[in-house]
Amino acid sequence: MMELPEIATALEHPDFQYRLKAISALKDYDAETAVPILIATIGDPEFLVRTFVARGLGKQRVAAAFAALLEMTKFDDTPNVRAEAANSLSLFGKVSISHLVLAFDRDDHWLVRRSILAALEELDSPTELIEVCTLALTGEDLTVQEAAIDTLASLAHSSHHAAVLTQLLTLTTATSPRLRARVADALQKFDEPQAQSALLELRQDSSSQVAALEDLFQQ
């Protein structure tokens, strides 16, 4: 176990590897001891150190840690850190949901948005999940849009079945062949006539990337 004087010395070291080791060592301490040190290190110039700080704060379920993570999701200038902070926020459970939705709306970086999508899925919050998926689909990042379609498909057997199907059907004419192919895959989870009709149309898609997915259309 790394003693507190050693941790303090390591956090002042110019080599960030020492600072990483010090941050990691704080896992052996209670929140009263660890959280103030972690918060004092939020401004470290090395983004890897700040990422470790965000991860460490997620393990300390106290109000001060939660507040610090909120600040990191809003103000850190590195997407990797904001994504880690969002993931750590989710570890606080249901109380984090509304904050994650706001963070998703505010931050359009693909890494942050994909982290929040995954976190909300783990939190079993379908209403908010549909909300952020809708936001994702109005964005410009294709990987986030694909993740949103996959996430919507995961709700096919939930009480939000009808709303999800409606959303997916509007995407059958998406500009990107990759998205149309993703939608075709998602619609396989639905038995409604409109879903089956949409699949038949996608089989005639102008893009071979979509139309060639024979395995999707074998009934």
CATH of the domain at 145: 1.25.40
Indicate if 141 and 194 belong to the same structural domain.
yes
> From CA 211, how far away is CA 172, in angstroms rounded?
12
Indicate if 212 and 118 belong to the same structural domain.
no
Indicate if 62 and 17 belong to the same structural domain.
yes
Q: In this predicted model, what pLDDT tens digit does every residue of 40-98 receive, in sequence order?
A: 999 999 999 999 999 999 999 999 999 999 999 999 999 999 999 999 999 999 999 99
Indicate if 107 and 130 belong to the same structural domain.
no
Its domain, for residue 203, covers: 125-219
> Cβ of 120: how many Cβ atoms within 10 Å?
26
Residue among 31, 96, 93, 106 at smallest CA distance from 69: 96
Total domains, the chain: 2
> From CA 73, how far away is CA 79, in angstroms rounded?
9
Indicate if 119 and 130 belong to the same structural domain.
no
Indicate if 74 and 129 belong to the same structural domain.
no
Q: In this predicted model, what pLDDT tens digit does every residue of 176-195 receive, in sequence order?
A: 999 999 999 999 999 999 99
Among residues 124, 153, 178, the one where a domain terminates is 124
Q: What is the DSSP string of 153-186?
A: HTTTTSTTHHHHHHHHHTTTT-S-HHHHHHHHHH
Indicate if 20 and 108 belong to the same structural domain.
yes
> From CA 7, how far away is CA 19, in angstroms rounded?
8
Stated pTM of the model: 0.90
- The amino acid present at 164, given as its one-letter code, is V
CATH of the domain at 22: 1.25.10.10
